[in-house]
A and B are shown apart, each in its own frame.
Chain A
Amino acid sequence: MASEALTGGFANAPHAAAIAFRGAMRAMAMPGVIEHIEGAAGPAPLSPAASALLLTLCDPETPIYLAGIHDTAAVRDWITFHTGAPLTDRARAMFALGTWDALAPHDAYAIGTSEYPDRAATLIVEMPALTAEGARLTGPGIEKEAALNLPDIPFCQANAALYPLGVDLFLTHGNAVAALPRSTKVR
């Protein structure tokens, strides 16, 4: 295991994870709102925001799928050392991490069952940018309307049509994170 795997964790894990989770929770509760979460730095190409999400939410109970350029020995070692999460394939993943294109096929992830819609995957999508413009969002967490540069509007519309099933997205870029839960309607 390279020494890179041992660094980049939270300095004070309980405090840092609590603060990062608050940002992640606000993002999921208010789709389109861009939060900034800090304190974690996994090996490239992991963004600080995606690093912090992994440290905050993942552990031996949460199989992770790494897609494309995120599936490197350095990233795998870092995740194993800091979270203990097992790596898996798309269908079994509770969390998946990668760029949007690398995560394809996007319908390969768990969408929950009608009795347990919570048993659905969360996709952490590394974005080239994150801005409050583009697709128009409405639904729970949004007073009137929000805007966000989604990676794939047709997919997000189809995902919302599965409600209450569907995957939930975190979108990350640098320290920034936004979310698109399945409950959000997209135009």
Chain B
Amino acid sequence: MNSYNFAYLDEQTKRMIRRAILKGLAVPGYQVPFASREMPMPYGWGTGGVQVSAAIMTPADRFKVIDQGSDDTTNAVSIRRFFERTAGVEVTETTTEATVIQTRHRIPEMPLTSGQILVYQVPIPEPLRFLEPSEVETRKMHSLEEYGLMHVKLYEDISQHGAIATAYAYPVKVEGRYVMDPSPIPKFDNPKLESPAIQLFGAGREQRIYALPPHTRVVSLDFEDFPFEANKADAACELCAADTSYLDEVIMDDAGHRMFVCSDTDFCASRRAAGHAGIQEAAI
């Protein structure tokens, strides 16, 4: 016997979260309130995602955690260990082997498949928050589909910057009904929100859960004259030569040399293992 509940949370808490997840799946993009619990980690560490993962985890799962694409940040490692210890699940860094993937700020490059579950850590679930600080008002706006202000704000972006400047947490409309915050993923990832996987979003501090069933229609907000563009740095990964993956610009040395590398470390590593080499690798 270990001293933990299975997946840390007590059964009543898991039931409450499970009910919220089911209602979230029944009304895609709608934010279901839930009573968030204290978790043995700070809020910035994705306690909403952790609670959702805890509520859906089964002993047979293989669990992967990515933090901005990487499996080996302190945050990713400690969440992975947490479920290894409390749920006894296997863990993996390989996207294709994982049954449950918890993520902060990225969608894996490798297309997800039916049966996989992607759990997002969400800091601010309310896409209208920057327009309207009052929860009472934003709730009313969602209920009335009052999304005009959102469009005005995006259009202002265009007139000021010549393009929509919002690069992360780019708002989407779900099944033609709810405007949803996809969490701070780069807008490059937005097209991947239409997926065969089940996608669940957990916001711990704000106590909201929302969901996208497989194949749900997810449209990034845009305008006829300024269509949505899922852009990335115009370069190839210097380690694996991928030119279609999302790239981070990293500082190499004290002299300030920089290079572009895949943000998705598993994607990059598996390409290199398959023999792909970028200009840095070739030079070595």
Contacts and interface: CB of A to CB of B under 8 A. Distances in A.
Contacts of A30: 213-214
B139 interface: yes
Interface residues of A, number: 38
A51 to B, nearest CB: 15
A25 interface: yes
A88 to B, nearest CB: 16
Interface string B227-270: 00000000000000000000000000000000000000000000
A114 B141 CA distance: 10
B192 interface: no
Interface residues of B, number: 45
Contact of A120 (B20, B23, B33, B56): B23
A182 B16 CA distance: 20
Given A17-B14, A141-B216, A118 B28 contact: no
A183 B22 contact: no
Contact of A59 (B12, B32, B143): B12
A172 interface: no
Contacts of A17: 11, 14-15
A21 B213 contact: no
Interface in B216-234: 216-217
A29 B18 contact: no
Nearest to A169: B26
Given A143-B214, A181-B25, A118 B55 contact: no
B26 A181 contact: yes
Contacts of B11: 13-14, 17
Interface in B106-164: 139-140, 142-144
B7 A56 contact: no
Interface in A8-29: 13-15, 17-19, 21-22, 24-26, 28-29
Contact of A18 (B6, B19, B33, B144): B6
A57 B19 CA distance: 6
A140 interface: yes
A185 B75 CA distance: 41
Nearest to B143: A114
A62 interface: yes
Nearest to A94: B19
Interface string A111-132: 0001111101010000000000
Contacts of B211: 29
Given A26-B198, A118-B23, A164-B27, A140 B7 contact: no
Interface string B171-204: 0000101100000000000000000101000000
Contact of A164 (B21, B58, B177, B214): B177
A130 B48 CA distance: 35
Contacts of A116: 33
A168 B22 contact: yes
Nearest to A17: B11
Contacts of B44: none
B78 interface: no
Contacts of B216: 140-141
Nearest to B59: A15
B170 interface: no
B58 A19 contact: yes
Interface of A: 13-15, 17-19, 21-22, 24-26, 28-30, 56-59, 61-62, 114-118, 120, 122, 139-143, 163-164, 168, 181-183
Given A15-B6, A183-B213, 16 more contacts: A17-B15, A18-B6, A18-B56, A21-B14, A25-B21, A28-B25, A57-B22, A61-B15, A115-B142, A115-B143, A117-B30, A120-B23, A143-B214, A168-B22, A168-B23, A168-B26
